[in-house]
Amino acid sequence: MDTVSWVQSLDSELLSRRSAVPGRKPVLRRSRGRIAVVTDAACGLPVDPSTGHLQLGVLGDHIRVVPIPVMIDSTPQQGQIYPEASDELTRDLPLALAQGLPVRTSRPSPGRIAETYQQLHEAGFAGAVSIHLSAKLSGTVDAARLAARDAPFPVTVVDSEQAGLGLGHAVIASALTARLGGSANEVAQTAKTVASGSRSFFAVPSLEQLRRGGRINRVASLVGSVMRIKPLLALRSGEIVMVERTHSMPRAVARMSEAAIEHAETLPNPQLGVQCCGNPEDAAELAAQVRPYSAQPVPVIELPPGLAAHLGLGALGISVSGSS
């Protein structure tokens, strides 16, 4: 299922469910006086590069996505900075990863985030909830807090302790709360509830990209390389940790599927999403395996460049979230 169709179906389902809550008016008002949602490109949701809006119709009007810069070093002396997602980055990143070129990411600048807050203020929003990639993986949360100090309206910054669709699910649920007239506190609480109940798992062919990016230590990377380990990774309390060592990618993916299903069975209306880096056929097969355990169709989404740069070519991931 394509990403836009999936998020629109999720939007419709959650909106219908929320509209049925006693005391909650199912009226979608205009932006003036309402709360906006700001996030970053690590959410993994479809973004129109020309506007920074999610490609989700009315829901996208309430969300802004701040890009995460990616740097590819073609030589030790020369590199190229991609300030935001683009067709050029989509083309160049897999090639760089396949060639073993150094790939790095940088947090968005406080000034870039401040521009987003200013634009939302000028559009008539009364405030924003800024929901971002785990602070233990990126400085984006710190940049958002700096930008919020001088924002023209109140901004609540939330560290999701998530990445990829674990963050994306929280963003969608929060935007729906905002659309239904929720206060900043209600929108922020929605984000925290969904994010804290989410689990994200990743299977990677190699730990080298994570080591280069400083996301795991050198010893763990060397041990994994020498022993030819294909690790199962998870996000726990905002950090990437190795939860199991396997000796083949098929085994790592099988264990990841089992872990995702186990968590999904503990949640009301679980929502699963599969993420990949250059291996859509494997991802589609994984999505079909876990579909019976998801309340919604399971999308297959390319990892956003800011995550693919660290997980590497051939990575697969699953995020599992529940309703707020």
Residue spans in the chain of domains classed CATH 3.40.50.10170: 3-69+106-195
Residue type, 6: W
Would the CA dihedral through 92, 247, 163, 142 be positive or negative?
negative
Structure tokens at 22: 């006693």
As a whole number, the mean pLDDT across the chain is 85
- At residue 297, the 3 state secondary structure works out as coil
List, in order, residues 6 or more apart from 189 with CB less than 8 Å away: none
CA distances from 30 to 126, 136, 270 (A): 12, 36, 30
Residue 219 has pLDDT above 70, yes or no: no
3-state secondary structure 22-90: CCCCCCCCCCCCCEEEEEEHHHCCCEECCCCEECCCHHHHCEEEECCCEEEEEECCEEEEECCCCHHHH
**pLDDT for the residue numbered 221:** 46
pLDDT, tens digit (0-9, with 9 covering 90-100), for 283-305? 999 999 999 999 888 999 889 98
What's the rounded mean pLDDT across residues 57-85?
79
CATH topology for the 3-69+106-195 domain: Rossmann fold (3.40.50)
**pLDDT for the residue numbered 20:** 59
The end-to-end CA distance of the chain, in Å, is 24
CATH topology for the 199-321 domain: Hypothetical Protein Tm841; Chain: A;domain 3 (3.30.1180)
Residue 164 DSSP symbol: T
Residue spans in the chain of domains classed CATH 3.30.1180.10: 199-321
Query: pLDDT grade, residue 161 (50/70/90)?
Result: very high
CA distances from 124 to 30, 92, 117 (A): 9, 38, 11
